[in-house]
Amino acid sequence: MNLSQNLPVDLSIQRSRRRATWLLIAAFWVLTFSVLALRTLITDSLPFIMLAPRRLLAAAFGASLCLLMVWVFSGLRNRSFSERVAVGLVGAVLMSIAQTMFISLLYRVLMPLPDRGPLLWEASAQWVMVWTGYYLAWTGTHLALTYHWEAEDRHRQYAMMQELAQEAHIAALRYQVNPHFLFNTLNAISALVTEGRREEAEAMLLNLSAFLRSTLSGDPGGIIPLSDEIALQRLYLAIEEARFSERMRVELDVPEELAHVGVPALILQPLIENAVRYGVGRSEAMTTIRVSATGDEAGLRIAVEDDGAGGEGAGGIGIGLANVRDRLQAHFGERGNMEAGPREGGGYRTVIRLPLAGVA
């Protein structure tokens, strides 16, 4: 079975292909009529004006046979191409016989011509061979055209399957973020409740509710403005500030002119979680988490860094950072990349780069 038959073809493409089929038939019979007319002028003693109406009727009959063959081929869409070629060969012979019989009937019964003489089987067989050549040419051209269309359909289907697989991959990577974040946040809320810090726990729950409402309602594989991504991270940082209120400071440096630039939703989430977990969580002193963005001809650069004591512990590329790297590559290919490593003077920095483009 041809895979292309499982893919719906756009109505405009169907109409275009139908017109191409009609034009092919029309062009074939205009050419055939012209060749036969030239032959008449050279070899036939009868005037062209007398033979022209009969030639036109013969051409109309042949065009009808071609349309009939197109209908036959349309019913064989799910058959292999070799089977359709075999049907085309048989069809060309049968159409040639029908064409020869119709012309004999036309010239001797319907619109008889003088001095035609008796019908000779040898002459009929010769004409069948001549018409077989014509019909084989048309059938081969039509099959080549349909094969080209089917190749286009297979290419469209392959491209669509790749796109769907890409979207599924991006969504799967995106869905890795929420469970990991939710687990950590619920643990933090549980710790606050255990410590008797009920007001902080309640504030964290409210921020968690707002955060999840914002993230789960969006497209899991979508691109959002950088300003929206920063707004989501403000909600998350508010959750963590309730937990580390005395040891955590946040700095955001995102120029207004970059607010419209498109970024994958929650692309900064694992980076900021990393900074909180390893930078703030492993340090007793005040730790600053800084998120900054710059843009130039090379693209958008976003850095998430902390000056905490956990830089060395976060030196490996864990699940969260690997997720970010995979999502950047899935969305942008080689144009999206990530670098991560310890900062001079302590702490850790992660930098992502992606194309500087607005949201569609």
* Token representation of residue 273: 């979680």
The torsion angle over the Cα atoms of residues 277, 283, 287 and 293, rounded to 10 degrees, is -40
Supply φ then ψ for residue 304, to 5 degrees. -120, 120
Digit-coded pLDDT (tens) for 49-82: 666 788 888 888 999 999 999 999 988 887 888 8
Task: Answer for the pair 307, 318: CB distance below 8 angstroms, yes or no.
Answer: no
CA distance 223 to 87: 51
pLDDT > 80? residue 8: no
| pLDDT at residue 318 in the model | 62
Looking at the chain, the whole-number percentage of residues with pLDDT higher than 70 is: 79
**Helices 11-43 & 48-74 angle (0-180, nearest 10):** 150
Residues 6+ apart with CB under 8 A from 236: 181, 207, 211, 269, 272, 273
DSSP string for residues in 1-44 = --GGGGSPPPHHHHHHHHHHHHHHHHHHHHHHHHHHHHHHHHH-
Q: State the average pLDDT for the chain.
A: 80
pLDDT > 90? residue 298: no
pLDDT > 80? residue 282: yes
pLDDT > 90? residue 352: yes
Q: What is the mean pLDDT of residues 14-20?
A: 87
Residues 6+ apart with CB under 8 A from 341: 315, 348, 349
pLDDT > 90? residue 350: yes
| pLDDT at residue 3 in the model | 41
Pairs from 327-332 (Cβ < 8 Å, separation ≥ 24): 327/170, 327/173, 327/174, 327/264, 327/267, 328/264, 328/267, 328/352, 328/354, 330/166, 330/169, 330/170, 330/173, 331/170, 331/223, 331/264
* Token representation of residue 222: 């979508």
pLDDT tier at 302, thresholds 50, 70, 90 = very high
**Residue appearing with tokens 């499982």:** 6
| pLDDT at residue 2 in the model | 43
Digit-coded pLDDT (tens) for 203-232: 888 888 887 777 666 665 678 899 999 988
| pLDDT at residue 203 in the model | 80
**Helices 48-74 & 81-105 angle (0-180, nearest 10):** 150
pLDDT > 70? residue 315: no
CA distance 297 to 206: 40
* Token representation of residue 160: 């669509």
Helix (H) or strand (E) holding 69, with range, is helix 48-74
Across the chain, where does the E strand assignment appear?
A: 223-225, 248-253, 262-264, 287-296, 299-306, 337-342, 348-354
pLDDT > 60? residue 157: yes
| pLDDT at residue 1 in the model | 41
pLDDT > 80? residue 283: yes
pLDDT tier at 14, thresholds 50, 70, 90 = confident
| pLDDT at residue 274 in the model | 85
Residues 6+ apart with CB under 8 A from 99: 58, 61, 62, 65, 131, 135
Digit-coded pLDDT (tens) for 180-190: 667 777 887 88
In words, the CATH class of domain 176-354 is alpha beta
The closest of 258, 260, 288, 294 to 275, measured between CA atoms, is 288
pLDDT tier at 322, thresholds 50, 70, 90 = confident
- Least confident range from 40-49, 106-115, 210-219: namely 40-49
The CA-based angle 9-10-13, given to 5 degrees, is 95
Domain boundaries, the chain: 3-167, 176-354
pLDDT > 50? residue 93: yes
Task: Answer for the pair 95, 61: CB distance below 8 angstroms, yes or no.
Answer: no
Looking from the CA of 245 toward its CB, the CA atoms found within 13 Å total 9
CA distance 130 to 38: 16
pLDDT > 80? residue 87: yes
